[in-house]
Chains A and B, each alone.
Chain A
């Protein structure tokens, strides 16, 4: 892993104007992404994971306002290193220089991501022709190559197909091909496998992983599915109510989580060996971000909340060089709280399994 940063997000704060008032959806996000690395942003609905990445693509909806922050993106243009603050670019510049060309995004629903009235071939070639003025013949060849890269058999025949003639899994592959058409430096995947069957899911994830290794691109996954995270991520950021509550590399998050919310998320999934009578759940529901948050946003649902959680928002505490968590439980004065017993047992079991299965 090169230590070269591709994306640097600092102090990102975004609000949305709604008929009921201003909703402060993102309240201070700090994130780094290195070249060739896979980052997974995990969170539930309302955590702000999609909004953060939409800001990075410049596709925030009309009523969104960037209150503060910067998203610095580094790429190479003709062997020359260029660094831009995406939030400062105009929409036109975004479209000409970044969207599809340097940063590509794939969305959740393959049915609606493809234009039903254009052939697959035309949709893949479109980006190349628009961004690089590639001559049609060359674009066609490259499109066929891409289709083969994403594992579609009979690529030449498929070029003339329309989206409705393909299955869901194949459509998602085509979407990936379109995303890769312009050789982007960064690929953002917003819940790419949620709408697919579980047997296809694994294949698509493996595909993206393969491509990433081959082309050395950085990938960001936005997901709520911890199984996906375990499979693909190098680095994980857990978001809640518009802030990152814990971040670390994938082993640290799964085997040594420190934030009560992360404990809750890990425990809420029944895994194949759970024998518990009851699933441990996080009580309550995510907060309404119309109201200003006093203290820790997670505190009302946190059975390990401290009094200070209701007064002051916790800072990011450092656990290791890569592992940070934003909870007062990590303060030196805080009582020593261990993760719930069921989770501890499960993690021990998983660690044993890992060594048995050869790592």
Chain B
């Protein structure tokens, strides 16, 4: 997979938000990673880690403060020409977290899903447009009759499927899933995740899966990146990260995963990690290669301590 050209290349992405004259929120601090065509990259972190911000910066809902984003060979981090903008908006799509808020309550499902087609004039006549929507509805497990209804007539899981349909109908090369399953019930989460995996197999779409649930991320991703306080601390394939976690934060995150196994769970003590007192300084760290695609953000002496 490494010989192929990366579909998305993020280099040293910085996103700062100016809250007031004296205070800037540094949400993302120099994050770099690559996503290859057809693979799933899991971006995991807790609240405040900057994972959602990264997703939104990549899809240009925010303007990046610094760094470079290359999508499909095109630089999308600076000012976008019309052509670049269209290329971005048709080939990269996003699914959102809150099933209640991600659909316009006053629009019919048919219009919601066809929105991308409408904006970029991707059909010749109304029948073609409707046909495309019906086909996509079938694909995500809904039916034709649902097209004429309004969002409030659906359950959370169904609304999330409509959101997926809206992204999918554009045939994107990359889908960014911003905590798309966090707000759903456990059994519905499983349904939606299965659906995403199926679609990926069929269309070979790359998926940037942003989440805080490490076990779900492990299940669905080929490669993983661990974020904390806006820094990408460790990245590698799922196998590499779980069999050989190097960074203490990664270790604490893995140890905190609850197991649905009472006898183990009752005795498990999570490994503690406190950045303030750990003696680690993220801003001084450099990407150190461990093996394969496994990288850790650390200074030399920190790395010596951990290995």
The B interface, classified by DSSP as helix, strand, loop or mixed, is: helix
B263 touches A278 (CB 8 A): no
Contact of A199 among B216, B262, B267, B270 (CB under 8 A): B270
A230 touches B157 (CB 8 A): no
Q: Which residues 176-227 in A have Cβ within 8 Å of B in the complex?
A: 197-199, 201-203, 224-227
In the complex, which residues of chain B have a beta carbon less than 8 angstroms from the beta carbon of A233?
A: 262
In the complex, which residues of chain A have a beta carbon less than 8 angstroms from the beta carbon of B266?
A: 230-231
Asked, given contacts A224-B186, A265-B186, whether A357 binds B256 with beta carbons under 8 Å apart, the answer is no
Interface residues on A, range: 35 or more
Q: Complex Cα distance A265/B189, Å?
A: 11
Q: Complex Cα distance A153/B213, Å?
A: 29
Asked, given contacts A274-B219, A278-B197, whether A254 binds B190 with beta carbons under 8 Å apart, the answer is no
Q: Complex Cα distance A168/B46, Å?
A: 12
A272 touches B270 (CB 8 A): no
Q: Complex Cα distance A350/B216, Å?
A: 18
CB-CB contacts of B238-270 with A at 8 A, as 1s and 0s?
Answer: 000010000000001100111111111111101
A230 touches B186 (CB 8 A): no
A197 touches B187 (CB 8 A): no
A227 touches B46 (CB 8 A): no
CB-CB contacts of A266-292 with B at 8 A, as 1s and 0s?
Answer: 111111101000111111011000000
Q: Which residues 151-181 in A have Cβ within 8 Å of B in the complex?
A: 168
The size of the chain B interface, using a CB distance under 8 A, is 41
Q: Which residue of A lies closest to B158 (CB)?
A: A285
B256 touches A199 (CB 8 A): yes
CB of B117, distance to nearest CB on chain A (Å)? 28
Q: Complex Cα distance A274/B158, Å?
A: 26
Q: Complex Cα distance A271/B264, Å?
A: 13
Q: Which residue of B lies closest to A254 (CB)?
A: B262
CB of A322, distance to nearest CB on chain B (Å)? 14
Contact of B257 among A198, A226, A267 (CB under 8 A): A198
Asked, given contacts A197-B47, A198-B212, whether A350 binds B261 with beta carbons under 8 Å apart, the answer is yes
Q: Complex Cα distance A328/B40, Å?
A: 42
In the complex, which residues of chain A have a beta carbon less than 8 angstroms from the beta carbon of B187?
A: 44, 264-265, 268, 281-282
Q: Complex Cα distance A69/B268, Å?
A: 40
Q: Which residue of A lies closest to B157 (CB)?
A: A285
Q: Which residue of A lies closest to B44 (CB)?
A: A198
In the complex, which residues of chain A have a beta carbon less than 8 angstroms from the beta carbon of B85?
A: none
Question: Which 5 residue pairs of A and B lie closest in terms of their CB atoms, listed nearest first?
Answer: A227-B258, A354-B263, A270-B219, A44-B185, A268-B190
Show 26 residue pairs from A and B whose CB-CB distance is below 8 angstroms, ordered by the A residue. A198-B46, A198-B212, A199-B46, A199-B252, A199-B256, A226-B258, A227-B259, A230-B259, A268-B189, A269-B260, A270-B216, A271-B259, A272-B218, A272-B242, A272-B257, A272-B259, A274-B219, A281-B194, A285-B157, A285-B188, A350-B261, A350-B264, A353-B263, A354-B262, A357-B263, A357-B264
